[in-house]
């Protein structure tokens, strides 16, 4: 594939919307997530409706050996991605830290930090060799403003921001760009995942708020990757109009 984007977390929410936004710009797609069935559905939908080639990779970014296998296959089968979108990520729980489950802590760290760091490490040498590529990492306003019950999630997103700033320094002599996207409240399955499948509780998060939509973030990512070679957008912070800081949201009464 000539110019393609490798997207982790491509089956839902922001990752899925960005896959479609990039397909509309005629990028080929290499899509990764854990659920094979969802990946195949997305592939079919995008190939049938948007007529761009899609390759699927079943990948759990928590497992380094899977990252190694998938990225090696991708480099061999498709070449070096022009865009790497590190979107796979999640929050688990919303309790004070003393009550946070160890498995939730580890899942957030392993997905949002370890996975993102290692996927980047796996593609970066090929990008450097080609002297081309754009790494786009999903941070969050949560990485800028901590909020109650989310110490670990907020810390993982702060790590994404600092990591991105660090690699931008390390690739300064190359043409590679690094961008951190830091959205506020986006209405996606994110809260359902956070609340372990409790749809009712998840729906309440977005009640009374004209929340950001995945497509809003996708359009902004598509804008960021479509700039002239000399332009590197380092960070983009996007809040809902009813939002002032990470978790300060004005809810409209019914």
List residues binding ligand 8X3 (CB under 6 A): 140-142, 184-185, 246-247
Contacting residue, 23, 188, 195, 218, with ligand NDP by CB under 6 A = 188
Residues in CB range of 92: below 8 A, 6 or more apart:
101, 103, 104, 107, 108, 153, 193, 194, 196
Annotate each residue in 32-51 with x if it binds ligand NDP (CB under 6 A) or - if it does not, as one string: -xxx--x-------------
β-pair partners for 245: 248
Nearer to ligand 8X3, 115 or 133 (CB): 115
Strand, helix or coil for residue 28:
strand
Q: Which of 153, 206, 252, 253 is catalytic?
A: 153
Q: Would you give the distance in Å from CA 152 to the centre of its chain?
A: 17
Q: Name residue, tokens 């509309």.
A: 24
State the minimum distance, in angstroms, from the CB of residue 240 to ligand 8X3.
9
Query: Pick from ligand 8X3, ligand NDP, none: which does 246 bind, CB < 5 to 8 A by kind?
Result: ligand 8X3
- The single residue of 157, 206, 229, 251 carrying the catalytic annotation is 157
**Residue 30: strand pairing partners:** 6, 55
157 classed as catalytic? yes
Using Cβ positions, the residue closest to ligand 8X3 within the complex turns out to be 140
d(CA 239, CA 236): 10
| Cα-only R_g, the chain | 17
217 secondary structure, DSSP code: H
By a kind-dependent CB cut-off of 5 to 8 A, residue 105 interacts, out of ligand 8X3, ligand NDP, none, with none
Shortest Å distance, C-beta 16 to ligand 8X3: 16
Residue 137: name the closest of 83, 91, 176, 188 by CA: 83
- Residues in contact with ligand NDP by the rule CB under 6 A: 8-15, 33-35, 38, 59-62, 87-90, 111, 115, 138, 140, 183, 185-186, 188-190, 193, 214
């Amino acid at each position: 594939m000539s110019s393609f984007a490798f997207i982790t977390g491509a089956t839902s929410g922001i990752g899925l919307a960005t896959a479609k936004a990039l397909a509309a710009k005629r990028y080929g797609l290499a899509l990764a997530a854990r659920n094979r069935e969802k990946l195949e559905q997305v592939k079919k939908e995008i190939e049938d409706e948007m007529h761009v080639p899609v390759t699927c990779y079943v990948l759990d970014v928590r497992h380094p050996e899977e990252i190694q296998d998938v990225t090696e296959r991708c480099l061999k089968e498709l070449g070096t991605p022009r865009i790497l979108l590190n979107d796979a990520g999640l929050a688990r729980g919303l309790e004070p830290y003393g009550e946070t489950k160890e498995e939730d802590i580890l899942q957030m760290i392993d997905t949002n930090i370890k996975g993102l760091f290692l996927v980047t490490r796996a593609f970066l040498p090929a990008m450097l060799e080609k002297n081309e590529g754009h790494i786009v990492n999903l941070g969050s306003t949560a990485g800028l403003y901590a909020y109650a019950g989310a110490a670990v999630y907020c810390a993982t997103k702060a790590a994404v921001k600092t990591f991105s700033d660090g690699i931008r320094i390390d690739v300064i002599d190359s043409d590679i760009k690094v961008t951190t996207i830091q959205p506020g409240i986006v209405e996606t399955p994110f809260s359902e995942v956070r609340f372990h499948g409790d749809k009712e509780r998840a729906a309440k998060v977005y009640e009374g708020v004209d929340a950001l939509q995945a497509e809003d973030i996708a359009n902004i990512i598509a804008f960021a990757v479509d700039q002239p070679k000399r332009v590197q957008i380092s960070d983009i912070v996007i809040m809902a109009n009813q939002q002032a800081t990470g978790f300060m949201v004005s809810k409209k009464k019914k």
